[in-house]
Amino acid sequence: MAKPAAGERPVLGLRARGTVAFALLALVLSASLALLTYQIARRYLLDQRESLRAAAVDGERPPRQGGAARPRARTSRRCS
């Protein structure tokens, strides 16, 4: 490949242009996914905080997260 004359920009070959295009596409895609993940997590956490705040204002217990309800304690025992 001949060197460019003074004042001319060097021409990138097909492989270099493909590599640059792939790198830019990967950068845009990863930034988009990071922003989307951040927004989803932020909205979820803000909604959780708001529901806890509303429950505290209403004097309710906040809803339990993650599974089965807590077993109730027995209040009376029969002795045999």
Distance from C-alpha of 71 to C-alpha of 75, rounded to nearest angstrom: 12
pLDDT interval class at 58 (50, 70, 90): confident
Tokens 């959780």 sit at which residue? 48
Is the pTM higher than 0.75? no
Distances (CA, A) of 36 to 29, 40, 45: 11, 6, 14
pLDDT interval class at 69 (50, 70, 90): low
Distance from C-alpha of 8 to C-alpha of 44, rounded to nearest angstrom: 53
Convert the pLDDT of each residue in 6-53 to its tens digit: 778 889 999 999 999 999 999 999 999 999 999 999 999 999 999 988
